[in-house]
Amino acid sequence: MTRKILILCLMLSTYTYSASDNPIKQSVAILDSNVGEMKVEMILLKDNKWKLSSYLDGGRIVQREEIEYFYIENNFIRPIEYNFFQKILFRKYNASAIFDWEKNEVSYVEKNEKGSVAIEEKVLGPSSAQLQLRLDFKELDLNNIPELLNYKVFWRGSVKERIFDIHKDIEIIETPIGNYPTYKVSRRFESGDTRSQIFWLAPDLDFSVIKIFNNDGKREVEIKMKSLEEID
């Protein structure tokens, strides 16, 4: 159950809408899943710093909050700070990370473990990784879509590569906010790994992810956007 909720939290960070002249539009989205309802906010703070936050209310079973601060430089996300809290029944989990780009390292705390890891340019944070996928889709030539996109992501004390395979056929997805043509993107796992993650990005909503399917090898989760509000 803990793994299922944590994967869901990271995936839901993709649900923000962007438009106009900014790479990201301030917004509030409500999402539905079989583990509860989630609220996701994208807020622009002072000095062009962004705050991506999400809160999942699963009643007495699960409560979780995730926040990441970052800048966007030349259409690429530069993470600054990450904080995560989760409670499932009586079990609690805390994690945090500070990105020091002058030293090119991440200092992190996970439960009772502390440490640091070296990073290089264009390493993404846990929450902002899928958001970067959206930003990159906005810049693609849709008449010449690549077969994959790959990123380096800080995750649980180390930097890992994430590869996303792009399916070029358009698929219509039904959601509570309407039906939209989408591009299907699948996260690649190692051979023999039974896990799967699939994202559907809607060009009409500035490539917002409007549906996610996740199979962690034990359980399947389907997530759909329920409502979306832009903030002026």
Q: What is the pLDDT at residue 21?
A: 56
> Six-digit token pair at 210?
């409007």
Kindly tell me if the per-residue pLDDT of 30 is higher than 80: yes
Does position 19 have pLDDT exceeding 50, yes or no? no
Q: Please check the confidence at residue 220 and state whether its pLDDT lies above 90.
A: no
- Residue matched to tokens 């992810």: 209
The pLDDT of residue 203 is above 70: yes
Q: Given a cut of 90, is residue 83 above it in pLDDT?
A: yes
- Single-letter residue type at 198: I
What average pLDDT does the segment 70-96 reach? Answer: 90
Would you say residue 6 has pLDDT above 80? no
Q: According to the model, what pLDDT value does residue 2 have?
A: 45
Top CATH class, 2-230: mainly beta
The dihedrals phi and psi of 103, each to the nearest 5 degrees, come to: -95, -10
Both structure tokens of 185? 């993107």
pTM, to two decimals: 0.83
C-alpha to C-alpha distance for 185 and 168, rounded to whole angstroms:
9
Per-domain residue ranges of the chain: 2-230
- Which ranges of the chain does DSSP label H, i.e. alpha helix? 2-12, 129-139
